[in-house]
Structure 1
Amino acid sequence: IAAWRAEADALLAELRGANQALIEVELPAHLSVSQLVELDTDEQTFAQRLRRPTPFPPNPTARRGTAFHAWVERWFGATRLLDIDELPGAADATASPDADLDALRDRFLSSRWAQRTPSEVEVPFETVIGATVIRGRIDAVFAESEGRWLVVDWKTGAVPEPAKRTSLIVQLAAYRIAWAQLAGVPVEKVRAAFHYVRSGETLEPDDLPDRDALAALLAK
């Protein structure tokens, strides 16, 4: 029994030592915008995911969001609307049904955005921030007066509480910087906003981080 206890104590001491060890994880040369948001939200969880990548479980909510974005793209760029069976992922018989997609479409069509004409939709980009290449895709860009632009990201989920919006603002900041680079205009001429389709609320932060602020986040 004494030997068992000694072995158990040794194993527990090893476990405690491993949990307290400082393990440095090198930041990849390329990050997606969602990874940038995750880094700002929870740096430790982000580092753990980099060290031991694991696949995300199937997410019916993400599938719904993908379907909605595909529909919006067609709304702005095609002469007819897509039926639900034509949307991406519709052939996957094991996926959960997108029961509220019709409601999301109706809410969008009743918003002011449905009647505006974007200059670009689903714009892929790469931009260098600090020593890191950030990749992403901008949902829609609208031209405004005096050479100004408005970048809009469609959200199909609920509006987050104010205390939980800080990290999401990083996403808009990256989009704003990327579009300014693509359009060849000063970043001050680009605004960025989230439109929460379900509630009909549009959030446009007044003060977005600039390139230096995002570079500082990546350099931490």
Structure 2
Amino acid sequence: MLLLTEERAARVPRLDVPLPANLTASEIVRMRADPAAFARELVRPLPRRPVAAARRGSRFHAWVEELFDHRTLLDDDDLQGAMDAELSDDDLHELREAFLRSPYGARRPYAIEESFELPLAGRIVRGRIDAVYALGGGRWEVVDWKTGRSSADDLQLAIYRLAWARLRGVDPSAVDAAFLYVRTGEVVHPPLLTEDELATLLARPHTSTG
């Protein structure tokens, strides 16, 4: 069976797919995680059904905006699954209480759901930063809230850090970046790709289906 599968795979032609001029931060994460699957997605785009984490996140983000009175219009590319019928009120209550106990529960953010368009390696990268905090002395912290239990991909956080540095006209070294795992209150500051490393990731003109 394995030999038959390999034989069939060998007969499938390799297809180089041009990367689009405009990408979202989440698309770049998917591209690095599975280039072949992302290439197939570009060739035959299909509606992406919102996963439970996205539905949960959209209600949570809306609540945080209310908490700090930041009002933003969110579109489907920013928070997929605006309809959260599958999220119970008890689950949302648990997330709210956990956030209020976290290191960010009593801190007022400088910005929430900050959208950006980042020119990088000849392309435009779009996204939205969950929250930004002013640390003083010209320093900033961007925070990505994670309402699920799985580990986050630091690539997206690296893009957010660079985007905020560009928006403020500061060096990326002046911008700290963290994940907040809301349920546990854990704050993680992972090592992040530099601007040059991000540009190298996007410099290739094609991605391949095989």
Structure with the bigger percentage of helix = 1
- 1:156 Cα deviation after fit: 0.4
What residue is the counterpart of 1:38 in the other structure? 30
- 1:77 Cα deviation after fit: 1.7
| In structure 2, distance between residues paired with 1:131 and 1:213 | 14
Contact map agreement 1:169 1:208 (CA 8 A) in 2: yes
Task: Give the 3-state SS of the residue equivalent to 2:179 in structure 1.
Answer: strand
With over 3 angstroms needed to count, the CA separation of the structure-2 counterparts of 1:16 and 1:154, relative to structure 1, is closer
Contact map agreement 2:55 2:87 (CA 8 A) in 1: no
- 1:63 Cα deviation after fit: 1.3
Within the candidate set 180, 183, 187, 1:198 is matched to: 183
- 1:62 Cα deviation after fit: 1.8
Stretches of structure 1 that go unaligned for 5 or more consecutive residues are: 1-11, 79-87
- 1:96 Cα deviation after fit: 1.8
Alignment of 1:59 with 2:51, yes or no, is yes
1:89 maps to a residue whose letter is M
Alignment of 1:145 with 2:128, yes or no, is no
How many residue pairs are counted as aligned between the two chains?
187
Alignment of 1:86-105 (within 5 A): 88-89=82-83, 95-98=85-88, 99-105=90-96
Alignment of 1:22 with 2:14, yes or no, is yes
- 1:60 Cα deviation after fit: 3.5
- 1:38 Cα deviation after fit: 0.6
With over 3 angstroms needed to count, the CA separation of the structure-2 counterparts of 1:28 and 1:155, relative to structure 1, is same
- 1:106 Cα deviation after fit: 0.7
Structure with the bigger percentage of strand = 2
Q: Deviations over 1:26-52 (max 9, x none)?
A: 000000010011111111111111111
Contact map agreement 2:145 2:182 (CA 8 A) in 1: yes
Contact map agreement 1:159 1:199 (CA 8 A) in 2: no
| In structure 2, distance between residues paired with 1:62 and 1:202 | 20
- 1:58 Cα deviation after fit: 4.5
| In structure 2, distance between residues paired with 1:127 and 1:189 | 18
What residue is the counterpart of 1:154 in the other structure? 145
Alignment of 1:5-16 (within 5 A): none
Shifted more, 49-58 versus 127-136: the winner is 49-58
Alignment of 1:168-187 (within 5 A): 168-187=153-172
- 1:65 Cα deviation after fit: 1.0
| In structure 2, distance between residues paired with 1:133 and 1:157 | 28
- 1:61 Cα deviation after fit: 3.2
What residue is the counterpart of 2:112 in the other structure? 121
Which structure would you say has the larger Rg?
A: 1
1:96 maps to a residue whose letter is E
Stretches of structure 2 that go unaligned for 5 or more consecutive residues are: 71-81, 205-210
- 1:16 Cα deviation after fit: 5.3
| In structure 2, distance between residues paired with 1:173 and 1:60 | 24
- 1:15 Cα deviation after fit: 5.7
TM-score by length of 1: 0.79
